[in-house]
């Protein structure tokens, strides 16, 4: 009986003490801080490590994709510039011009003239002149480049033009070129001297 009474009194004292401690502001705030600190310390480091790893992985993948895109763009631009350079070479334009004349394709040949040249010579007049040359002297047969000088957006190309039916001589023609709209065009043609043909370039 005394033991039961003693336990009851002890329990009552413990409960009373707990209430007193809970009522004290300093104790309750300290307990709350300890509880919050314990909760953060038990979870935060693990989450922080996982988040940091994820950020690093995503950043690495994004950087790799960006580098690949940049390299791809550079490669495409370089390839286009190489192709464009090969097609916009003034010597290439001259070869295409005389090649069209060799095929008596006067319309295509006239297309290699600059806007300035076209303003001074119509397509009809161009065809009349060059078709007359072809009837009298034979069509353009060979046209090797003798010299090429490029200065910025202008160039001077000298070609030795031979015609079918004349195996002994060729005519030096100087083509003044201009670069516009990403292409080379013939601005004027100066007819030069007629010279003996070297054996290597003689027509058969």
Q: Where are the alpha helices (DSSP H) in 88-198?
A: 90-102, 106-110, 115-120, 123-137
Is 101 found in the same domain as 182? yes
Return the structure tokens found at 53: 């790893």
Same domain for 75 and 33: yes
Q: Reply yes or no on whether the pLDDT at 86 is more than 70.
A: no
If one compares 16 and 151, the residue with the highest pLDDT of the two is 151
What are the pLDDT digits (tens) for 118-163? Answer: 999 999 999 999 999 999 999 999 999 999 999 999 999 999 999 9
Query: Within this chain, do residues 101 and 78 fall inside the same structural domain, yes or no?
Result: no
Q: Give the whole-angstrom CA distance, residue 158 versus residue 14.
A: 116
Looking at residue 170, what is its pLDDT?
95
pLDDT attached to residue 167: 82
Structural domain total, the chain? 2
* pLDDT (0 to 100) of residue 23: 66
Domain end, chosen from 68, 83, 98, is at 83
Last residue of a domain, one of 60, 83, 106: 83
Average pLDDT, the chain: 80
Q: Which residue has the higher pLDDT, 152 or 70?
A: 152
* Same domain, yes or no: 57 and 132: no
Whether 46 has a pLDDT exceeding 50, the answer reads: yes
Rounded CA-CA distance 185/93 in Å is 7
Range of the domain at 74: 2-83
- In this prediction, residue 74 has a pLDDT band, given cuts at 50, 70 and 90, of very low
Q: Which residues pair with 177 in a beta bridge?
A: 155, 186
Domain boundary among 48, 83, 118: 83
Closest CA to 156 of 164, 147, 143: 147
């Amino acid at each position: 009986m005394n033991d039961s009474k003693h336990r009851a009194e002890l329990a009552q004292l413990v409960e009373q003490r707990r209430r007193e401690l809970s009522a004290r502001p300093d104790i309750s705030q300290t307990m709350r801080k300890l509880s919050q600190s314990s909760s953060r310390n038990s979870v935060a480091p693990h989450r922080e490590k996982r988040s940091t790893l994820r950020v690093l992985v995503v950043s690495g993948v994004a950087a790799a994709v960006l580098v690949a895109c940049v390299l791809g763009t550079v490669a495409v631009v370089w390839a286009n510039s190489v192709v464009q350079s090969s097609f916009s070479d003034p010597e290439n334009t001259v070869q295409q011009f005389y090649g069209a004349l060799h095929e008596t394709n006067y319309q295509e040949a006239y297309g290699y003239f600059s806007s300035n040249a076209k303003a001074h010579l119509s397509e009809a007049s161009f065809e009349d002149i060059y078709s007359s040359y072809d009837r009298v002297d034979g069509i353009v047969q060979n046209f090797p480049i003798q010299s090429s000088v490029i200065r910025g957006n202008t160039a001077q190309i000298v070609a030795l033009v031979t015609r079918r039916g004349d195996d002994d001589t060729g005519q030096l023609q100087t083509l003044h070129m201009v670069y516009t709209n990403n292409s080379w065009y013939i601005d004027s043609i100066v007819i030069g001297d007629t010279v003996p043909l070297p054996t290597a370039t003689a027509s058969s």
